[in-house]
């Protein structure tokens, strides 16, 4: 499905879902497969994401892959020379310019694999993710398990009282909830 053919050069893949749904794990899996296939791979993440490492993308299951932290999406264009695949983690934290950056890369014949939260802690579309999902050739939505009832979860419920849109954290600050449990808690 994601193998480049002679007739198709460059595309965008988006992996989205709530926290603890396996987005980064899937991103790492796809990028390691590309590397195994001897494709030149570059991985980027927002500089503000220092939860596990400053220079690696790390999943909650502790799988990791080398990455380059960047201040803005425009830097991704500057740092992608002769590559076949570009990976971008935590895309929701990037500026809106990430959308034209990904389009430019795909138009250059590069496979672009982007992972990020599709919704913020309030259940609203998050950052550039909705636009990336709309223009991507492939969208994979992964789900966590609701910690309250065991159903499929797609909300990242914040456990702390903080109105800031971006609050980095793990299970001490967020929990995955299904629609029903999220709506009950919001009331």
Catalytic residue list = 90
Burial 69-87 (b: 16+ CB within 10 A, else e): bbeebeebbeebeebbbbb
- C-alpha–C-alpha distance, residues 178 and 148, integer Å: 8
Instruction: Report yes or no: 17 and 143 within 8 Å, Cβ to Cβ.
Output: yes
Output the six-digit token pair for 177.
Answer: 């909830």
- Tracing tokens 């990791």 back to the chain, one arrives at 64
Residue 41, strand partner residues = 85
Query: What's CA 171's distance to the chain center, in Å?
Result: 18
Helix, strand or coil, per DSSP, at residue 27 = helix
Instruction: Report yes or no: 97 and 127 within 8 Å, Cβ to Cβ.
Output: no
Alpha helices in the chain (DSSP H): 23-36, 74-79, 98-107, 129-135, 179-186
């Amino acid at each position: 499905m994601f193998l480049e053919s002679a007739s198709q050069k460059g595309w965008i893949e988006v992996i989205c879902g709530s926290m603890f749904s396996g987005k980064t794990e899937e991103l790492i899996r796809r990028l390691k497969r590309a590397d195994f296939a001897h494709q030149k791979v570059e991985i980027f993440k927002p500089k503000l994401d220092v939860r596990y490492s400053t220079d690696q993308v790390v999943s909650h299951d502790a799988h990791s892959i080398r990455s380059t932290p960047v201040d803005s999406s425009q830097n991704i264009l500057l740092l992608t020379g002769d590559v076949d695949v570009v990976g971008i983690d935590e895309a929701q934290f990037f500026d809106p310019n990430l959308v034209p950056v990904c389009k430019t890369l795909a138009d250059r014949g590069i496979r672009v694999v982007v992972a990020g939260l599709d919704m913020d802690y309030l259940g609203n579309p998050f950052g550039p993710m909705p636009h990336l999902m709309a223009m991507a050739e492939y969208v994979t939505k992964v789900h966590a398990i609701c910690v309250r009832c065991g159903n499929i979860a797609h909300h990242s419920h914040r456990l702390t009282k903080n109105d800031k849109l971006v609050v980095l954290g793990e299970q001490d600050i967020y929990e995955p909830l299904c629609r029903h449990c999220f709506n009950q808690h919001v009331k």
